Amino acid sequence: MDSSLIQNLFNFITNNIFFIIYAFAIVEIYLVVNVFLMMRKHELVLADVSDNLLKGFSDAPDSDSSQSIHERIESALDFISTKVTSDPEHKKDFMKNAKKVSQRPFYSRHYKIEIYASVMSTLVQIFPLLGILGTILAIAQTAFQSGGQIDVSSLSNAFVLAMDTTILGISLSIIFMIIESTFQPKIERVINESSDFKRIVSSIHLS
């Protein structure tokens, strides 16, 4: 491969390394916001469809204002699972209610949350690598520009750039790791509740 092409590529990435890091940060923020909004909407929809499955059952658990949305969902799913297990005839009643539930958007959002969360987790690990990349490229660019003869001034500039990109990459990684750590239990809970709902509804339809 032509060395001038490599040099031009190195120069382009080095000159735009901060823009590249900030671009990844913007994408990460976009994913965080979207995961938060999707989880919030998914929780409300899951609570709503769970309540719809309980219609017609006089002994269904009452909605308590003091309960969190997750407690309402778990209470409804536990009731449905217990009813179906104790008396298979109840499946017919649940099936009537289940037919009124639009499941495609529900499951689509479920998988979308998983995909976004996976990409969000991957990007967190990319920021330190971008910082290291900035360090390597800064030194490589200095070597190319000086024809192998590295002077103190060029090396000093490369060192400053290397430190700046490394600090920025690590700092952003730490910030987004903290954000991800607060999101991860909520994401897992939403996914587990969705899986339980899907399993229960599938067992009702299969009957």
| 62 assigned to some structural domain | no
CA distance 15 to 102: 51
**Token pair 């923020």: residue:** 29
Residue 30's pLDDT is 94
| Residue 23, domain member (yes or no) | yes
| Alpha-carbon distances of 140 from 137, 152, 157, 206, rounded to whole Å | 5, 15, 12, 63
Compute the distance between CA of residue 166 and CA of residue 131 in angstroms, rounded to an integer: 4
Give pTM, 2 decimals: 0.74
Tokens for 130, please give them: 């971008």
> How open is the CA angle 110-85-53, to the nearest 5 degrees?
45
The shares of helix, strand and coil residues in the chain, as percent rounded to the nearest 5, are 85, 0, 15
pLDDT of residue 47: 76
Mean pLDDT by 10 residues, the chain (207 residues): 67 82 93 89 77 67 67 75 68 63 64 86 89 80 62 70 86 91 85 76 61
Has residue 20 been placed in a domain? yes
Residue 144 lies in a domain: yes
C-alpha–C-alpha distance, residues 97 and 131, integer Å: 54
* Residue whose structure tokens are 């903290």: 178
Please count the structural domains in the chain.
1
Which range marks the domain in which residue 36 is found? 3-55+68-206
Q: Are 32 and 187 in contact (CB under 8 A)?
A: no
Note whether residue 63 is domain-resident. Answer: no
Residue-level pLDDT at 132 = 85
Q: Which pLDDT score is estimated for 198?
A: 74
200 is a domain residue? yes
